[in-house]
Amino acid sequence: MILLGLGANLPNAESGLPLSTLIAALEVLESEGVAVVRRSPWYRSAPVPASRQPWFVNGVATLETSSGPEDLLARLHRIEDRFGRIRRIRNEPRSLDLDLLDYDGRIRSEGPAPILPHPRLHERAFVLLPLSDIAPDWRHPVFGTSVTDLIAGLPEAQAVERLSP
């Protein structure tokens, strides 16, 4: 199973509001031959770490592709660029964030990008809640911990609310 995290908290000149950008990014991904098998409901979440920037819209999707993780990550970065993503500092506001969360349970902590699984996915309610909606049996490849147990271990301070089915 290939898991993609999606997020945005800034409007985009091409697609408008963050939710529209996320939907458009999935359409671009499919137009490039990557199948979006399933998509979670959308969530609204406070920035992590806490800051004064706008709240994010987030979701998770399962994908199918013949591309390996390196090629898929490069494609995700090209799509982010297309939607105006600028990378200056970590955790800054963004028009689009596409994160390769897990690629068939592969584990890679060094070498060329991507690091697999995503190094912070287990710490983020805005990833784990939508992930549990579409893959309730998923287990963290490194820790072996279920998504339900990872959610139970999250700090209560992460504000996340479901937007849509």
Candidates 39, 44, 75, 85; catalytic one: 85
Catalytic: 124?
A: no
Catalytic choice (94, 102, 124, 133): 94
For residue 35, CA distances in Å to 15, 119, 125 come to: 21, 24, 25
Beta bridge partners of 139: 146
Q: Which residue in 44, 97, 102, 124 is the catalytic one? A: 97
Active site residue 87: no
Q: Which candidate in 75, 99, 102, 124 is catalytic? A: 99
Give the amino acid at 156. Answer: E
Beta partners for residue 97, in sequence order? 7
Tokens describing residue 90: 């970590």
Is 94 annotated as catalytic?
yes
Report how far residue 60's alpha carbon sits from residue 39's, in angstroms, rounded to the nearest whole number: 6
Decide: 41 and 130 in contact? Cβ < 8 Å: yes
- Is 75 marked active-site? no
User: Of 16, 90, 86, whose CA–CA distance to 48 is shortest?
Assistant: 90
Active site residues: 85, 94, 97, 99
